[in-house]
Structure 1
Amino acid sequence: MPLGISIRTIGIMKFYKYVGAETAKIIIQNSTLKFTSPVNFNDPFDYFPAVQEEGLRKFTRRINDEIGGGVKRYKTNHRETSKHLQSLRSGAFRDLYTRNMSISCFSKSPFILPMWAHYADNHEGCVIEFEFKTDSPLVVEYFSLGINQLSQILIPFDVNYSEDRPPLFDENGRTDGPNTGFQACLTKAKEWEYEQEMRVVTKQPEGIYSFERSQMTGLYFGMKIDKKDKTDLSRIIDGSNNYTGTKIRKHDVVMAYDKFELSKIQFRL
């Protein structure tokens, strides 16, 4: 597997997308998802790793060796090192190294109260359930393609929550360590921990991309969803299940009687 990436569990992994009703209709009908550049996320720290002096000279020498073919395009004296630090810490550099990557965000649970409020139109929307089978032969295909090529398989990675910003490179100037490089886009501040986020990352510019339709396995209708939206979504799901081979199950969401919790019940129109 590339970049030291590992799959969290073996077997079936469920992950969930909080969306408005109209967005849900598009996703289910077209089997497409929007992937967004980290630069356009609501968190200004997103994929904006820390650049520290420790390891900078080794990082610069490695860039000279691997990109410059041994030619010292970037000097490592004190004055130039200060310039490098300033450049690498800039928003312009962040824009540069994220321009050919984009992310679609999910959660580990369909019952997160703030997520319903923030991303599912205050319970007027819904949550789409996705499934990823880690033992599927498609996984082998995905990793044989590599992270730099487009795959229609949605493979979610856990987001890590930390007090510290992830580093761009480690003390040895490497960007392929456990917290650097690609892994930096999977690290967020602990204040976001309630989202229980998972991410699907593609090395493609921001845009709309197709995914494997069979990965959709459920829809949770918000408690305040409009009756027409519920009817339309139910019809779209039935059409998908009947004609495209999906097995999307429909669920209603209700409040627990004695706790600040949500649960699912049998779907009804």
Structure 2
Amino acid sequence: MNKEGIAVENDIEVIYRYKYLPFNEGSLKMIADGTLKFTCPLDFNDPFDCMPAFDPKSIESICEIRPDLIKKAGKELGYSPAKRIENKWRFRNNVKTAIASGEFVKSIVRRMGIFCVSRTPCSPLMWSHYADSHKGFVVELRIAMDSPRELIQQIIPSRVEYKKIRPIINWATPDEYELEKYFFTKSEDWSYEQEERTISLDRVAGIYPYSRNDFLCSVIAGTKIEEVNYERLKNEIEKASKVLGKKIQLRKAQLARNAYKIFIPGHLNQDFNGSESNE
């Protein structure tokens, strides 16, 4: 496996991705029940995430240049066709205000669900921020490209790009690709996450099944996990292994002795398989 979490195994490309989780009943369901939590972007801890910046001048000409967008925005905002015709100019002004304020975009992203993963299980910040200060665990997903296509499409993530400047949308002549790409762009401040995400445009935020048999690979316990929780985690993994008829490995992250690093003894990726003597 290379640093991107990609390997070739038996001539099949395989990617490995990591979900950081706090220890709780909901998180354990990813192992016990084979479910994933998709989150609404409006609930993310980054207020910029999935909220496009726009060119203010483009709003002024949007009614003339993009009547299709005005119609779509009106529908999103709950205006009936009769209401749009009856109060044409007021309607247009209201839509322009909704687009400028971000309410139009919010009406769209409310129906989106996003599942986020990382390319590394060894980020101290990720363990702190998303795995309850190293007291939680990380689920390792193994996504082989020879898995059933319909299953891969439900879980395969795309890379998030990190930039200094927010992408700016020209509402009068928006590029559909650029608009979609915006949902995969974040500030450089978040680059430590090495994030990839699966976006669902037809499933709102909620809990959805995935194939444990195809994708659940291993679990990594945090360095500060409580003993009782570690035993519970071990028990759930053993039960899942028995049901699936395959061994789900349980490992425990460790602190390097001479560096500010996390390493995972026994992990197949040598970048994660350090030892205290070579840190």
Tell whether the structures are fold-level matches, with TM greater than 0.5.
yes
1:125 aligned to 119, 136, 140, which one? 136
Tell me the equivalent position of 2:42.
Answer: 39
CA deviation profile, 1:88-115 (whole Å, cap 9, x unmatched)? 1324212211122111111110000111
Tell me the equivalent position of 1:105.
Answer: 116
Give the 3-state SS of the residue equivalent to 2:242 in structure 1. helix
Tell me the equivalent position of 1:148.
Answer: none
Tell me the equivalent position of 1:14.
Answer: 16
* Cα pair 2:151 2:211 within 8 Å, conserved: no
Task: Report sequence identity in percent.
Answer: 29
CA deviation profile, 1:54-101 (whole Å, cap 9, x unmatched)? 596486145379999xx9x79xxxx99886553213242122111221
Where do 1:150-169 residues align within 5 Å? Answer: 153-168=154-169
Alignment partners' CA distance in 2, 1:66 and 1:231: 53
Q: Which runs of 5+ in 1 are unaligned?
A: 1-7, 144-150
Q: Please state how far the C-alpha of 1:238 moved relative to its aligned partner.
A: 1.3
2:99 aligned to 71, 75, 88, which one? 88
What amino acid sits opposite 2:174 in the alignment? Answer: G
TM-score, normalization: structure 1? 0.77
Shift in CA distance, 170/91, structure 1 to aligned 2, threshold 3 Å: closer
Find the structure with the greater CA-based Rg. Answer: 2
Tell me the equivalent position of 1:24.
Answer: 27
1:195 aligned to 183, 193, 197, which one? 193
Q: Which runs of 5+ in 2 are unaligned?
A: 1-5, 75-80, 268-279
Tell me the equivalent position of 2:273.
Answer: none
What amino acid sits opposite 1:21 in the alignment? Answer: F
Tell me the equivalent position of 2:258.
Answer: 258
* Cα pair 1:221 1:251 within 8 Å, conserved: yes
Q: Detail structure 1 runs of 4+ shifted over 6 Å in the superposition.
A: 64-68, 79-83
Q: Please state how far the C-alpha of 1:233 moved relative to its aligned partner.
A: 1.1
Alignment partners' CA distance in 1, 2:58 and 2:16: 39
CA deviation profile, 1:14-56 (whole Å, cap 9, x unmatched)? 1111111224322211111211110111111111112213596
The RMSD of aligned alpha carbons is 3.2
Alignment partners' CA distance in 2, 1:260 and 1:131: 27
2:69 aligned to 50, 63, 72, which one? 63
